[in-house]
Structures are given as structure tokens and as C-alpha cells.
Amino acid sequence: MEGKVKIQLAYGLYLGVATAVFGLYLAYTQRNAGNAFVASHCRFLIRTFWIGVLYVGLSGLLVGLLPGGIYLLAFPALWWLLRCVKGLMDTVSHEPVQNEETWLF
């Protein structure tokens, strides 16, 4: 269960947004733990971080280009929150992430 606790900690760090880099570090260090459950969540967390960076960057570019573009910044925040909650719920029920390669949820 030690891997499960570390994954839950990583999700908690991601929810803090400013501490997400520490969660990313934890996911990178645990991804080869030999446990398929932990590995699937680590891949999901790593992809969440990097895809989130991409979404925030694209939204930031569009803010200046589109009228009302400031509302686009809500998409990456909501996307991030939903992915973290989904992953955390999967860890509580001790299930691996079903589709860790998805760009959505």
C-alpha cells in the first residue's frame, strides 16, 4: 500500500497547483516501482502535468488574441481539477487509470 499512499500524496500536491512540481517529481520516481497500479497512475500524473502546461500556454496566448479570451483560462483549471479528482477516486477504489493516454479526462 506504500505506493498507493505516495500516489495519493502526488494527487494532493497537484491539487495545490503551486506544489504540482513536487507531485511530478514523486510520479517520476515511482513510475518504475514494478506495480501496474502505481505505474498507470504515475503515467497519468506525468501526462496531466505536461498536457496542463501546454493547455495553459495555449490559453495564455489566446487571451490576448480573442475578445473574452480570459474565459479560456478556466478550461485548463477545470480540466486539471477533474483529472486530479478522477485519479484520486481511482486510487481510493484501488483501480488503475483506465485510459492514461487520454488528453481529456
Q: Which structural domain, as residue segments, surrounds residue 69? A: 2-90
CB 52 within 8 A of CB 79: yes
Number of domains observed in the structure of the chain: 1
In order along its 105 residues, the chain shows pLDDT tens digits of 578 888 888 988 988 878 999 999 999 999 998 789 999 999 999 999 999 999 999 988 888 888 877 888 899 999 999 999 999 999 999 999 988 888 777
For residue 74, tell me if it sits in a domain.
yes
The Cα–Cα gap between 59 and 3 comes to 34
pTM: 0.87
For residue 102, tell me if it sits in a domain.
no
| Nearest Cα to Cα of residue 75 among 63, 89, 90 | 63
The Cα–Cα gap between 46 and 63 comes to 26
For residue 86, tell me if it sits in a domain.
yes
For residue 58, tell me if it sits in a domain.
yes
For residue 96, tell me if it sits in a domain.
no
- Cβ count within 10 A of residue 2: 10
